[in-house]
Structure 1
Amino acid sequence: MKIVRKSLRLRIVVTFFGIVIVSLILSFILNIRSQENTPNHSMVTIAEDIATMINLIDDPEKVKTSLNIFARYGLNITSVNEQSEVLASLPDDKVHELFDENTREAFILSNKDETAIVGVPRMNEEKDALLIKINFSSIFHNVKRTLVISLLTVLIIGSLLIMFMSGYIVKPIKRLTAAAKKMASGDLSVRLKHNNPDEFGELMESFNHMARELQKIDSVRDDFVSNVSHEMQSPLTSIRGFTRALQDGVIPLEEQREHLDIIYEETLRLSRLSDNLLRLASLDSEHHPFNLTTFQLDEQLRRAIVLAEPQWAHKNIKIELDLLPCEITVDKDLFEQVWQNLINNAIKYTGPDGVIHVAIEMSPSSVKVSIRDSGQGIPEGDLPYIFDRFYMVDKARSSSLRGNGLGLSIVIKILKLHECTIDVESRVGEGTQFTVTIPRPSIAS
């Protein structure tokens, strides 16, 4: 039984055998029932016609010859009266009915063992009756033999064909199994070629799609590990180098504070990287706390601007606010992270004496928050990738500004959790504008 369960091809063949055998059994049952229910009306009609023909023959020799001819076809015809011994094996009530004066039509006296006996009353003036014994055994045997031969032929030819076709059916599954094993061993480049528009073709196309997505995920994972390693290695190298120099007394006393400040900044950089990685991991999981709160969006934006004042004041950046009073229902803490990241990015990439404009636009269905800066802008070729993790437009500039390429990844993740969208418009040398659209279903209703 285990072998049958393991092989799909064998299961197909066994199923076919089962169907044919069940069909054979049902055919025999129906055949037996048809024998038991031999058409009585037809036999009675045949008996009456034979009696009519015999009555038309006057010559006894010709009658005898005719009876012999009928006997060749399984029709045994006998003339009987009430004292005939042949009637002893028949039911008494049927015999009395046969010789009853009121009986005018032929009827069946017995119908069993593939033989029917039909009685025809009042064949002559002596009130003799005619017994016609009709034997169907040869006919039934021929039908049985033909049926058995036909079914065995179907079974043999069908089995050969199903064994051949089952190999064709199972072949794509074997290919899929082999490809899955290769993928399990780490080969994500495996693909299945096919020209089938059927369900197997759809299955193989789905497998290829899954392989492509897994390959992308594997590539992202490799890039992620590489980027994290790089982002951590850079500050660790600085910290290790400066601490070794301080331990060896290489750095003069008057310069030690400056180097200690660098070490402190590098530890802050590592801390920010760790916090961002933990936050992304939490947002990726299904168990991140999600607390919806209704609050004033304009006040939250003003508070984010105030918190960032040391950064924009140091660069003498002008802040322009166009904030309409507005309430939204989202996770307040997560949206504080969104505004902090977007505003800090705007400050980071805006030069001295630049301008940052923050505005709120309202409509019945949504609230739009735009943050526009007068910075260097983002090249058009980089725009599709700025929300990817660890992606930095200018590696050297980002390193000098202590970025790690995770801020916008956190922003897009938070906004997707709230079914919000973000659009980016940027021109090199003119600046960049991020526009966050927050749906307002409650107002729309």
Structure 2
Amino acid sequence: MIKSLYARIVLTFLASVAAGITIVYFVANGLFTKELNETLQSSATAFSRDLVRIYETLPFDEADALVSQMNQLPFYYVRIYDETGLLRSYLPPNGPPIAAVTPEQVRQVVGGEMYRNVPQSPDQFVIGLPFQTARGTHALFAQPIYPTSSLLAKWILTILAYSFAAGSIFLLIAAPFLVRPLKKLTKATKRLAEGNFDVKLDIKQQDELGTLARSFEDMARELNQLERMRRDFVSNVSHEVQSPLTSISGYAKALQTIDLPDRERKRYLDIIIAESDRVSKMGDKLLKLALLESQPHPLQTAAFKLDEQIRRVIVACQPQWSAKNIRFELDLPAVTLTADQDQISQVWTNLLGNSIKFSPEGGTIAVSIEQGAKDVTVRIADTGIGIAPEDQKRIFERFFKADRSRNRRQSGSGLGLAIVKQIVSLHHGGIRVESEPGKGTTVVVTLPQPPPHA
């Protein structure tokens, strides 16, 4: 099997051209042979009649002299007979074999009849015409020797052969330009396999190869971005896990001290338990995020009261906001939403948890619902520390923490908003953040509202 694309292109072209030449030859030969033969026979008949008129009009010797000077004569075999035999013949040196004329055919024409044969080969056509002179009745036989169907076939083959040769030379020159982009793609594929995603093919073609090259570059960029995300993910997970594991290891070693007071021992155990819970919760969130990102992810949709769900989540968070004397302002009209109830509840739990966590003592959190014709909008606004503009685009990334200095004192893995973003996306909704540092943060969640019959 031929492995080179260049060789396959050349051989495919040559095979296609050869097949095309064969088909064209037979089609042209079949279409034009009959028409050409009829044209040649008609021309030969007309030329023979012209000769007959010359011999009938002029004396025999003068007619001979005139006929011998005719420009058309080299394209015919011309023979003149009388009752006794052959009188004159004009036989050019080149041409097909001379068709035989029998004495019976001569007698037939001398007797006043026209003769036309039915030849096996078109170039053996002969026409015989009688004519009268002062010397008596004569018979003129003419056989055309100018282009016949065999010569036409030769012309067709010659033209097609030259076309085949010219096309082959052109393809041999052009094929490398066709194969060059594929060679670039092959090299780029090897670089991708080696882990080098910085690929630029620089292919400007606008055809299918150009489209393939641009798609390949887009794929390389996507893979490069995914690789950066993978490295960041591994780094973040290692960092987030290392901190509690260090605390657990350190306090576990401290517990080995024999004369450690009971009060200190209890405090160390509480820290170990808290850090263990932190690692466990991080693992649960990573698993949940992985499940949400798996495709396809089934949604257990059902109709439920959205306003009642948000109230239940607020009540469930009471220990957290009561400890900070946070006040809630609610504008929750009755709204029915069709969605995955458990997942949407997780959205409000994460968002309200963040608002409570970053709100100051005695702060306010406002929650409102606005129902539109095609969607439902939920706003959760707090009076917390706010988010810097450069961080607002990244807060939905895994492990990203906007206020890093504050987060050192706040528990959290940076996965909550990533989970929220994924849940909202699965519901074909949208989420955005409006915030200014020191002036609080407003999270706006928009969920599609299907018609009542859905």
CA displacement at 1:28 relative to structure 2: 4.2
Structure 1 partner of 2:389: 380
Compared with structure 1, are the counterparts of its residues 361 and 36 closer, same or farther at alpha carbon in structure 2 (3 Å cutoff)?
closer
Unaligned ranges ≥5, structure 2? 87-99
1:215 matches 2:217: no
Compared with structure 1, are the counterparts of its residues 17 and 260 closer, same or farther at alpha carbon in structure 2 (3 Å cutoff)?
same
1:7 matches 2:7: no
What is the distance in 1 between the residues matched to 2:259 and 2:81?
Answer: 143
What's the TM-score, normalizing by structure 1?
0.88
CA displacement at 1:250 relative to structure 2: 6.0
What's the TM-score, normalizing by structure 2?
0.86
Structure 2 partner of 1:265: 274
Structure 2 partner of 1:22: 19
Structure 2 partner of 1:389: 398
**In the alignment, which of 424, 428, 431 is matched to residue 415 of structure 1?**
424
Structure 1 partner of 2:191: 182
Structure 2 partner of 1:86: 101
**Range with greater deviation from structure 2 (319-328 or 32-41):** 32-41
**Range with greater deviation from structure 2 (11-20 or 403-412):** 11-20
Amino acid at match of 1:110: V
Aligned 8 A contact 2:431 2:443 in 1? yes
CA displacement at 1:311 relative to structure 2: 0.6
What is the distance in 2 between the residues matched to 1:418 and 1:228?
Answer: 27
CA displacement at 1:251 relative to structure 2: 3.5
1:110 matches 2:118: yes
What SS is found at the alignment partner of 1:161? helix
Aligned 8 A contact 1:365 1:440 in 2? yes
Compared with structure 1, are the counterparts of its residues 378 and 251 closer, same or farther at alpha carbon in structure 2 (3 Å cutoff)?
farther
Aligned 8 A contact 2:5 2:179 in 1? yes
CA displacement at 1:357 relative to structure 2: 1.0
What is the distance in 2 between the residues matched to 1:284 and 1:147?
Answer: 67
What is the distance in 2 between the residues matched to 1:100 and 1:373?
Answer: 127
What SS is found at the alignment partner of 2:199? coil
CA displacement at 1:444 relative to structure 2: 10
CA displacement at 1:132 relative to structure 2: 1.9
What SS is found at the alignment partner of 1:248? coil
CA displacement at 1:170 relative to structure 2: 0.6
Please give the per-residue CA displacement for 1:134-175, whole angstroms capped at 9, x wherever unaligned: 2347x6676565555444443334322211110111111101
Aligned 8 A contact 1:82 1:99 in 2? no
What is the distance in 2 between the residues matched to 1:232 and 1:359?
Answer: 37
Aligned 8 A contact 1:312 1:347 in 2? yes
Compared with structure 1, are the counterparts of its residues 49 and 315 closer, same or farther at alpha carbon in structure 2 (3 Å cutoff)?
same
Amino acid at match of 2:13: F
What is the distance in 2 between the residues matched to 1:293 and 1:32?
Answer: 76
What is the distance in 2 between the residues matched to 1:156 and 1:147?
Answer: 14
What is the distance in 2 between the residues matched to 1:35 and 1:71?
Answer: 24
What is the distance in 2 between the residues matched to 1:328 and 1:43?
Answer: 96
What is the distance in 2 between the residues matched to 1:311 and 1:187?
Answer: 48
CA displacement at 1:196 relative to structure 2: 3.3
Aligned 8 A contact 2:79 2:142 in 1? yes
Please give the per-residue CA displacement for 1:379-412, whole angstroms capped at 9, x wherever unaligned: 1111011111111012232232111111011111
Q: Give the alignment of 1:171-320 within 5 angstroms.
A: 171-249=180-258, 251-320=260-329
What is the distance in 1 between the residues matched to 2:55 and 2:387?
Answer: 115
Compared with structure 1, are the counterparts of its residues 351 and 389 closer, same or farther at alpha carbon in structure 2 (3 Å cutoff)?
same
What is the distance in 1 between the residues matched to 2:130 and 2:315?
Answer: 123
**Range with greater deviation from structure 2 (27-36 or 207-216):** 27-36
What SS is found at the alignment partner of 1:437? strand
Structure 2 partner of 1:133: 143
Aligned 8 A contact 1:320 1:357 in 2? yes
**Range with greater deviation from structure 2 (112-121 or 239-248):** 112-121
Compared with structure 1, are the counterparts of its residues 169 and 250 closer, same or farther at alpha carbon in structure 2 (3 Å cutoff)?
farther
CA displacement at 1:267 relative to structure 2: 1.3
Please give the per-residue CA displacement for 1:311-345, whole angstroms capped at 9, x wherever unaligned: 11111111121110010100001101101000101
**In the alignment, which of 75, 78, 92 is matched to residue 76 of structure 1?**
78
**Range with greater deviation from structure 2 (27-36 or 385-394):** 27-36
Compared with structure 1, are the counterparts of its residues 47 and 111 closer, same or farther at alpha carbon in structure 2 (3 Å cutoff)?
farther
Compared with structure 1, are the counterparts of its residues 107 and 25 closer, same or farther at alpha carbon in structure 2 (3 Å cutoff)?
farther
**Range with greater deviation from structure 2 (214-223 or 151-160):** 151-160
CA RMSD of aligned residues (A): 3.0
**Range with greater deviation from structure 2 (360-369 or 34-43):** 34-43
Aligned 8 A contact 1:242 1:263 in 2? yes
